[in-house]
Structure 1
Amino acid sequence: MYTIHPVPKCYAWGSRGSLQRMFHLDGADAQGPLAEMWFSGHAQSPSMLDVPDADGTTRQVALTEMIARDPDAMVGARGVSEFGPELPFLFKTIAADEPLSLQVHPVDFQARAGFNMENRQGIALDAPERSFKDMNAKSEMVVALEPFLASVGFAPHAFALRNLQLLRSPVARRMVQAFASGGRRGDDSFAQADMMMPVAATVWPESRKRVFRAFHTAVTAAASDPQELLDDLRQAAAQATHARNVMAFDFATRAARAFPGDTSVLALLMMNPVRLEEGESVFLPTGVPHAYIYGTGAEIMTNSDNVLRAGMTVKHKDIANLLQCVDCRPSSPVNPSDSRLGTLLMRDVVFYKPGVSEYVLAYGHVDAAEPWPIVDRLAVRYDALVQQMRGRGVVPHAGPRVLLCTQGEIVCTTETGSRTLRQGEAVFIPASDGWARVGGESGSYLMASTPF
Structure 2
Amino acid sequence: MDRLSNTVRPYAWGSTTAIPELLGTAPTGEPQAEMWMGAHPGAPSRINRTTTPLDHPLSDLIAADPEAELGAPTVKKFGPRLPFLLKILAAGAPLSLQVHPNLAQAKEGYEAEERQGVPIDAPHRNYKDANHKPELICALTPFDGLCGFRDPAETADLLARLDVDSLKPYVDLLHAHPEEAALREVLTAVLTADPDEMSHTVHSSAEAAARLGGEYSPYASLAHHYPGDPGVIAAMLLNRVQLQPGEGLFLGAGVPHAYLNGLGVEIMANSDNVLRCGLTPKHVDVPELLRVVRFEATEPAVLRPEASPAGEELYDTPIDEFRLSRYTLAPGAAPRELTAATPQILLCTDGTPRANDLDLAPGGSVFVPAGEKTELTGTGTVFRATVIA
Q: 1:85 aligns with which of 74, 80, 94?
A: 80
Tell me if 1:72 matches 2:67. yes
- Compared CA separation, residues 23 and 171, structure 1 to 2 (3 A): farther
Tell me if 1:116 matches 2:55. no
Q: Which residue number corresponds to residue 438 of structure 1?
A: 376
CA distance in 1, matches of 2:120, 2:126: 9
Paired residue type of 2:4: I
Q: Residues 259-270 of structure 1 correspond to what in structure 2 (within 5 A)? A: 259-270=226-237
- Compared CA separation, residues 345 and 257, structure 1 to 2 (3 A): farther
Q: Which residue number corresponds to residue 189 of structure 1?
A: none
- Compared CA separation, residues 171 and 351, structure 1 to 2 (3 A): farther
Cα deviation for residue 157 of structure 1 reads 2.1
Q: 1:350 aligns with which of 297, 313, 326?
A: 313
Whether the 8 Å CA contact 2:207–2:220 is kept in 1: the answer is no
Structure 1 segments unaligned to the other structure (5+ residues): 183-205, 239-245, 372-392
CA distance in 2, matches of 1:234, 1:313: 21
CA distance in 2, matches of 1:263, 1:302: 29
Q: Tell me the alpha carbon deviations over residues 396-437 of structure 1, each in whole angstroms, 9 at most, x when there is no partner.
A: 632111111122211112xxxx31112222110110314x32
Q: Which residue number corresponds to residue 14 of structure 1?
A: 14
Q: Residues 340-419 of structure 1 correspond to what in structure 2 (within 5 A)? A: 343-344=306-307, 349-368=312-331, 397-413=340-356, 418-419=357-358
- Compared CA separation, residues 18 and 215, structure 1 to 2 (3 A): same
Q: Tell me the alpha carbon deviations over residues 185-212 of structure 1, each in whole angstroms, 9 at most, x when there is no partner.
A: xxxxxxxxxxxxxxxxxxxxx4212111
Cα deviation for residue 449 of structure 1 reads 1.0
CA distance in 2, matches of 1:21, 1:397: 32
Q: Which residue number corresponds to residue 290 of structure 1?
A: 257
CA distance in 1, matches of 2:218, 2:333: 37
CA distance in 2, matches of 1:288, 1:84: 27
Q: TM-score, normalised by structure 1?
A: 0.79
Whether the 8 Å CA contact 2:7–2:35 is kept in 1: the answer is yes
Q: 2:224 aligns with which of 253, 257, 264?
A: 257
CA distance in 2, matches of 1:254, 1:366: 39
Cα deviation for residue 112 of structure 1 reads 1.4
CA distance in 1, matches of 2:235, 2:50: 50
Q: Tell me the alpha carbon deviations over residues 60-104 of structure 1, each in whole angstroms, 9 at most, x when there is no partner.
A: 222221111111111111111111011111111101111111100
CA distance in 2, matches of 1:354, 1:401: 17
Q: Tell me the alpha carbon deviations over residues 157-216 of structure 1, each in whole angstroms, 9 at most, x when there is no partner.
A: 22211111112334422221222335xxxxxxxxxxxxxxxxxxxxxxx42121111122
Q: Which residue number corresponds to residue 59 of structure 1?
A: 54
- Compared CA separation, residues 38 and 178, structure 1 to 2 (3 A): same
Cα deviation for residue 443 of structure 1 reads 2.0
CA distance in 1, matches of 2:64, 2:333: 43
Paired residue type of 1:446: F
Sequence identity percentage: 34
Q: Which residue number corresponds to residue 387 of structure 2?
A: 450
Q: Residues 420-439 of structure 1 correspond to what in structure 2 (within 5 A)? A: 420-434=359-373, 436-439=374-377
Q: Which residue number corresponds to residue 167 of structure 1?
A: 162
CA distance in 2, matches of 1:320, 1:217: 12
CA distance in 2, matches of 1:346, 1:218: 50
Paired residue type of 2:39: G
Whether the 8 Å CA contact 1:99–1:294 is kept in 2: the answer is yes
Cα deviation for residue 290 of structure 1 reads 0.3
Q: Tell me the alpha carbon deviations over residues 32-77 of structure 1, each in whole angstroms, 9 at most, x when there is no partner.
A: 31111111222333222222138xxx51222221111111111111
CA distance in 1, matches of 2:311, 2:263: 21
Whether the 8 Å CA contact 1:229–1:261 is kept in 2: the answer is no
Q: TM-score, normalised by structure 2?
A: 0.91
RMSD value over aligned CA atoms? 2.4
Whether the 8 Å CA contact 1:15–1:35 is kept in 2: the answer is yes
Q: Residues 168-187 of structure 1 correspond to what in structure 2 (within 5 A)? A: 168-181=163-176
CA distance in 1, matches of 2:42, 2:65: 20
CA distance in 2, matches of 1:153, 1:91: 23
Q: Which residue number corresponds to residue 33 of structure 1?
A: 31
Tell me if 1:233 matches 2:209. yes
* Structure 1 moving runs of 4+ over 4 Å: 345-349, 393-396
CA distance in 1, matches of 2:338, 2:19: 31
CA distance in 2, matches of 1:253, 1:344: 39
Tell me if 1:278 matches 2:245. yes
- Compared CA separation, residues 73 and 27, structure 1 to 2 (3 A): same
Query: For 2:14, what is the secondary structure of its paired residue?
Result: strand
